[in-house]
Structure 1
Amino acid sequence: MKIIIFLVLLIGINYSLNLNPVIGILTIPSDEDYKEYPSSQYSYFAASYVKYVESSGARVMPIPYEADEATLEKYFSQINGLLLTGGTLALETKSGPSKYLQTVTYLLNKVIKANQSGDTFPLFAICLGHQTLHFILSNKDYDVLSPASGMQRVNKKLIFTDKKSTMFIDLKEQIFKSIETQEQIYFNTAWGVLPNYYQTHSELNNFFNIVAVVEDQKGVVSIAAAEAKQYPIFSFGFHPEKPIFEFKTPSQHQQESIQFGRNLINQFIQIARENNHILKDSNSVIFKYNPIQLDSASFAQIYFFKLGELNI
């Protein structure tokens, strides 16, 4: 009888999962290097982020960073997780918080409130996203972002501080050892978050658990990965997608770095399957948009969107 009951419970768990998860990827203003696509008219993200999400069995919905809160609410109700990409931009302008910062702040609050109410909703932040989360959660203290030496377009070793992180589930010790002893993890940033800021910013210390750190060229240690203590929010200072999908950068393509990156996104998507938000507008997913190649770009392919083009 106990065996039968156990099997019924397992079947119930399997059927409760969302087998068609949709991940929202937030666009960012176009980069100044892309002369044909000025930031006054376009937003973008690299196609590798889309491939990264799709490789774990999810679809992608591009979310315009310039959207108002009412529109963001519509997007949020139809996605099962959110990914913040890397990139370069000013978080604040002379006139105040940038539109990107305002949008991330709004969405972060939505994610936290959803999880507090029992609506499991994961967030996966990479590089710029990692910095932005820490900036917001430190009550917008720019001191939390420290200049990083020699961390642009380089591969680094990681120092793991908590191998029991949700993101590291299923990783074999062989992978940990390889990442710890060989420079395989790709960084491209001018800024880092130092662990000691968690001591001076209790809001950060209460929110995040540091799970991996990295040393820059001068031996200064910064946070490479952090996991929220109460919510499925994961923040990475490196680029886990590049070893798998980017070949115009000096990222490493060893099997271990690829498996490491795949494990991170697999765990994220698995959590997203616990969210039952329903996609109502299938025309809003990425399939109707085409990525392009630019000789001047470090990405293999890029999605560009005219401001106001994305809608739901």
Structure 2
Amino acid sequence: MKIIIFLALFIGITYTLNLNPVIGILTIPSDEDYTEYPASKYSYFAASYVKYVESSGARVLPIPYEADEATLDRYFSQINGLLLTGGTLALETESGPSKYLQTVTYLLNKVVKANQQGDIFPLFAICLGHQTLHFILSNKDYDILSPTFGMIRVNKKLTFTDKSSTMLLDLKAPILKQIEIDNQIYFNTNWGVNPSYYQTHSELDNFFKSVALFSDAKGTVYIAASEGRKYPIFSIAFHPEKPIFEFKTLSQHQFESVQFGRNLINQFTQIARENNHSLKDSNSVIFKYNPIQLESASFAQIYFFKLGELNI
């Protein structure tokens, strides 16, 4: 009888999961290197982020960083998780917070509020996204972002500080060990968050727990990965998508780095399946857009969007 009850409960839980998760990827202003697609007219993200999400069994909905709050509300109600990409931009401008910073701040508040109300909603922040979250959560303390040395297009090892993290579930010990002894994790950043700031900024320490660290070329230690203490928020300083999908960079494609990156997105998407936000129009997902190949870009393919083009 106990076995029958257990099976019934298990089946009930399984069927409440959302089997058609949709992950929103926030665009960022076009890079100055892409002269054919100026930031005054275009936003973008690399196609590898799309492939990364799709590899976990989810669809992608591109979200325009320039959208107003009412539009962002519509997007949020129709996605099951949010991914913030890497990239280069100024978080603050002479006139105040950049539009990207304003949008991330608004969406972060929505993520936190949703989870507080029992609506499980995960967020995955990579590189620029990682920096932006820490900047916001430190009450916009510029000192929270310290310059790194020798961290442009390099592969590094990680030191894990919490192997029980949700981010690392299902990874076998030999993979974690190899990540700790071999330079397999791809970084491309000028900025890092020193773990000491978690002690000096209680708002950060209350929000995040450290999962992994890395050292730059001068031996200075920085946060490589953090996870929300109360909320399903993954924040990482490296690029887990590149070992799997980018071949124009120096990212490593060993078994361990590929499996490590795949596990991160799989854990994130599995959490996204726990909410029932529903996409109203399947034609709004990424399939209707075509990525572009640029000889000068470090990405294999890029999605560009005209400002104002994206809407639901």
TM score, norm. by length of structure 1: 1.00
Aligned residue in 2 for 1:157: 157
Q: Distance in 2 between matches of 1:182 and 1:129?
A: 25
- Paired residue for 1:278? 278
AA partner of residue 57 (structure 2)? G
How much identity, in percent, do the aligned residues show?
83
Residue 76 (structure 2) pairs with residue 76 (structure 1): yes
Q: Which amino acid in structure 2 is aligned with residue 81 of structure 1?
A: G
SS at match of 2:283: helix
Q: Which residue of 1 aligns with 2:25?
A: 25
* 1:243 Cα deviation after fit: 0.1
The residue type paired with residue 110 of structure 1 is: K
- State the distance in 1 between where 2:36 and 2:170 align: 43
> How much has 1:284 moved relative to structure 2?
1.2
1:96-111 → structure 2 map (5 Å cutoff): 96-111=96-111
1:218 aligned residue: 218
Residues 247-285 of structure 1: per-residue CA shift (max 9 Å, x gap): 000000001000000000000000000010011021210
Superposition map of 1:162-201 within 5 A: 162-201=162-201
Letter in 1 for 2:89: L
Deviation at 1:116, TM superposition (A): 0.3
Q: Give how far 1:199 is off.
A: 1.0
Which residue number corresponds to residue 145 of structure 2?
A: 145
Matches within 5 A, 1:229-240: 229-240=229-240
Deviation at 1:153, TM superposition (A): 0.2
Distance 2:283 2:144 in 1: 40
Partner in structure 1 of residue 263 of structure 2 = 263
Matched residues in 1 for 2:3 and 2:252: separation?
A: 47
Alpha-carbon distance in 2 for matches of 1:253, 1:24: 26
Q: Distance in 1 between matches of 2:248 and 2:4?
A: 54
Partner of 2:119: 119
Distance 1:279 1:40 in 2: 29
Letter in 2 for 1:238: F
Superposition deviation, residue 3 in structure 1: 1.2
1:18-57 paired onto structure 2 within 5 Å = 18-57=18-57
The residue that corresponds to 1:208 in the other structure is 208
Q: Does 1:9 align with 2:3?
A: no
CA RMSD of aligned residues (A): 0.4
- Residue identity matched to 2:144: V
What amino acid is aligned across from residue 309 of structure 1 in structure 2? E
User: Which amino acid letter does the alignment assign opposite residue 51 of structure 2?
Assistant: K
- Which whole-Å deviations, capped at 9, do the CAs of 1:120-178 have from their partners, x for residues lacking one? 00000000000000000000001000000000100000000000000100001100111
Distance 1:281 1:102 in 2: 27
Aligned twin of 2:65? 65
> Which stretches of structure 1, 4 residues or more, deviate above 2 A after TM superposition?
none
Cα displacement string for residues 31-56 of structure 1 (whole angstroms, at most 9, x for unaligned residues) = 00000000000000000000000001
Stretches of structure 2 that go unaligned for 5 or more consecutive residues are none
Q: C-alpha distance in 2, partners of 1:177/1:230?
A: 27
Report the AA paired with residue 56 of structure 1: S
Distance 2:110 2:245 in 1: 30
Deviation at 1:78, TM superposition (A): 0.1
TM-score, normalised to structure 2's length? Answer: 1.00
Corresponding residue for residue 93 of structure 2: 93
Structure 2 distance, partners of 1:211, 1:254, is 22
- Deviation of residue 2 (structure 1)? 1.3
What is the number of equivalent residue pairs in this alignment? 312
- Match of 1:235, SS? strand
Question: Given residue 279 of structure 2, which amino acid in structure 1 is its aligned partner?
Answer: L
CA distance in 2, matches of 1:197, 1:91: 19
Q: In 1, Cα distance between the equivalents of 2:264 and 2:66?
A: 28
Structure 1: segments with no counterpart, 5+ residues: none
Question: In structure 2, what is the Cα distance between the partners aligned to 1:95 and 1:107?
Answer: 21
Please give the secondary structure, in 2, of the residue aligned with 1:52. Answer: helix
User: 2:99 & 2:251 partners in 1: Cα distance?
Assistant: 31
Residue in 2 aligned with 1:297? 297
SS at match of 1:252: coil
